[in-house]
Chains A and B, each alone.
Chain A
Amino acid sequence: DTGVSQDPRHKITKRGQNVTFRCDPISEHNRLYWYRQTLGQGPEFLTYFQNEAQLEKSRLLSDRFSAERPKGSFSTLEIQRTEQGDSAMYLCASSLEQGSYTFGSGTRLTVV
């Protein structure tokens, strides 16, 4: 297993455009998490899945954000009508239930 993969590594988009990120977790892991991190801050929780079920979504997450995990495998995070405040590193992590997190390398989003 090659760990958690995220694609793309970098994304530059114009304000108002939609973007989609992909995360491929470790295959044995049933939990998948999305976090957002800005410079100098700790990862901020966005949402998480257990298998294909989305169990929790941050109240800070506006309705412009949506995530899916069809068939309990890879996951996508979509941001609609991007704003400059969405610029951040988007981290995906996977784990077994109540186990350690393995993070991907992240997708760095820049909204111009």
Chain B
Amino acid sequence: QQPVQSPQAVILREGEDAVINCSSSKALYSVHWYRQKHGEAPVFLMILLKGGEQKGHEKISASFNEKKQQSSLYLTASQLSYSGTYFCGTEPWDTDKLIFGTGTRLQVFP
């Protein structure tokens, strides 16, 4: 039931791009994305609510393919501050809670 994220880890140089994928076995109402830095709480990035919806947040954007039960997070021109672990949180149609994915650890180096 836990959504699967890929890749498990990414190492980037500043300015490089990355894509993080999230795949669920259940039909989804929404997908959330959060970033967690070491020793801190997860911080909300964005929600995607409709099939095919794409949202942006500065140089971070995401897409949601409702039919495939998949979401992708796109990080462009990465900055040092992007380092952390990214979690997708999926909300299936039959529940009101988020089920968090396995996580993707992103490290950005100068």
A residues in contact (CB < 8 Å) with B: 31, 33, 35, 40-45, 48, 50, 55-56, 91, 97-106
Contact A101 B2 (CB under 8 A): no
Contacts of A48 in B (CB 8 A): 96-97
Stretch at the interface among B13-21, B41-49, B68-76: B41-49
- How many interface residues does B have (CB within 8 Å)? 23
B86-110 contact mask (Cβ, 8 Å, vs A): 1 or 0: 0101010001111111110000000
A-B contact count (CB 8 A): 53
Complexed CA–CA distance, A43 and B36 (Å): 11
B residues in contact (CB < 8 Å) with A: 2, 29-30, 32, 34, 40-44, 47, 87, 89, 91, 95-103
Complexed CA–CA distance, A79 and B1 (Å): 25
Contact A106 B41 (CB under 8 A): yes
Contacts of A55 in B (CB 8 A): 96
Most B CB within 10 A of own CB, among A42, A43, A44: A42
